[in-house]
């Protein structure tokens, strides 16, 4: 195992065996009292002012949601790569805005160990004696990138609202990447215009209990675990490395960015680097998720080819 030195004192561990490219962001280690970002996790170098992206519809041509979302993606001006978050848009015909309510710093601190414990071993009580207030310093002065939806989203489209928590960045993996650093440049590893040539902070969905103080673990696994995932005490394996939501013509869909670690919804295409630039749209009904659309995206911040 070797260590690459990036700017601002951040090390990237590169194993001798091939490492899934989505995991690059999760192998960032920060020197600090918490071991994963207690003081500062900023590793990003300067980015292009307004990168644009080319999207190709690879599955779902002729399906209304697929064509409509492709048009929306083409009109969107991204300040960061799409996997860092797709802006809400209700001007496009058929789409409805989902209203995000950001968590307060105190709420983030209170939920941090729950998120971390569940992500690592599917047990939010596995906090290993960590003291949540220790993490307060990490969030002071930075965007927590954790939110809920009001009104709530019915993930299964059955009229049952789910009290969702969306969490981006530190706490999900050992990387310690701040959600706001997503999209920052890792030019010592790969060029900025490669889809995985910049920081991916991860973004996952959890279902909270009614009092917003803990994770409904059973419901979270039911809705968001990859079909091929293993039970506790293994690490939680979500359906994608970044998850988001949209509402189109009265139905809720999931935006899922796949990875070469777990493959697509069926577990296929593992270790295929092209899947790291795949965005899928899933519709969940009757307790099952079905892929409706898939897109491939590539940055256009340089004139040379950027396809992996």
pLDDT digits (tens, 9 = 90+) for 151-164: 999 999 999 999 99
Domains of the chain: total: 1
- Residues 7 and 11: their CA atoms lie apart, in Å, by 8
Q: Look at residue 185 in the predicted model and tell me its pLDDT.
A: 65
Is there a domain that residue 304 lies in?
no
Q: Which domain holds residue 87?
A: 2-299
Range of lowest pLDDT (35-44, 47-56, 236-245): 35-44
**Res. 16: pLDDT tops 90:** no
Is there a domain that residue 307 lies in?
no
Q: Where are the alpha helices (DSSP H) in 98-216?
A: 105-121, 136-139
Q: Look at residue 49 in the predicted model and tell me its pLDDT.
A: 45
**Which residue would you say has higher pLDDT here, 181 or 262?**
262
Is there a domain that residue 306 lies in?
no
Average pLDDT over residues 216-239: 88
Is there a domain that residue 175 lies in?
yes
Is there a domain that residue 35 lies in?
yes
Q: Look at residue 183 in the predicted model and tell me its pLDDT.
A: 76
Q: Look at residue 121 in the predicted model and tell me its pLDDT.
A: 84
Range of lowest pLDDT (13-27, 48-62, 188-202, 262-276): 13-27
Is there a domain that residue 115 lies in?
yes
Is there a domain that residue 172 lies in?
yes
**Res. 138: pLDDT tops 60:** no
Closest among 120, 135, 270, 281 to 202, alpha carbons compared: 120
Range of lowest pLDDT (25-39, 44-58, 101-115, 131-145): 25-39
Is there a domain that residue 286 lies in?
yes
**Res. 72: pLDDT tops 80:** yes
In the chain, at which residue ranges do the beta strands (DSSP E only) sit? Answer: 2-5, 11-14, 28-29, 53-59, 95-96, 100-102, 146-149, 164-168, 203-207, 242-248, 251-257, 278-285, 288-299
């Amino acid at each position: 195992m070797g260590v690459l030195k990036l700017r601002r004192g951040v090390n990237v561990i590169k194993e001798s065996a091939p490492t899934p490219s989505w995991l690059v962001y999760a192998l960032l280690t920060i020197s600090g009292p918490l071991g994963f970002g207690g003081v500062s996790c900023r590793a990003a170098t300067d980015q292009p002012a307004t990168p644009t992206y080319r999207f190709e519809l690879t599955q779902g041509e002729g399906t209304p949601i697929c064509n409509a979302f492709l048009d929306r993606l083409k009109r969107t001006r991204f300040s960061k790569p799409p996997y860092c978050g797709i802006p809400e848009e209700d001007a496009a015909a058929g789409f409805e805005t989902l209203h995000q309510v950001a968590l307060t710093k105190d709420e983030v601190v209170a939920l941090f160990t729950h998120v971390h414990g569940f992500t690592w071993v599917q047990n939010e009580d596995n906090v290993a004696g960590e003291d949540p207030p220790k993490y307060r310093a990490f969030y002071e002065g930075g965007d927590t990138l954790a939110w809920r939806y009001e009104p709530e989203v019915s993930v299964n489209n059955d009229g049952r609202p789910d009290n969702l928590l969306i969490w981006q960045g530190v706490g999900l993996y050992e990387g310690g990447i701040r959600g706001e650093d997503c999209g920052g440049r890792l030019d010592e590893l790969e060029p900025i215009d490669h889809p995985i040539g910049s920081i991916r902070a991860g973004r996952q969905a959890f279902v909270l209990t009614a009092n917003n103080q803990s994770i409904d673990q059973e419901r979270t696994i039911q809705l968001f675990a990859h079909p091929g995932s293993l039970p506790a005490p293994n690490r939680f394996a979500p359906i994608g490395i970044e998850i988001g939501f949209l509402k189109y013509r009265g139905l809720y869909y999931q935006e899922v960015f796949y990875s070469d670690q777990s493959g697509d919804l069926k577990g296929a295409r593992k270790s295929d680097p092209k899947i790291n630039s795949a965005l899928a749209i899933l519709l969940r009904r009757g307790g099952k998720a079905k892929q409706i659309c898939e897109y491939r995206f590539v940055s256009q911040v340089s004139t040379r080819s950027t396809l992996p």
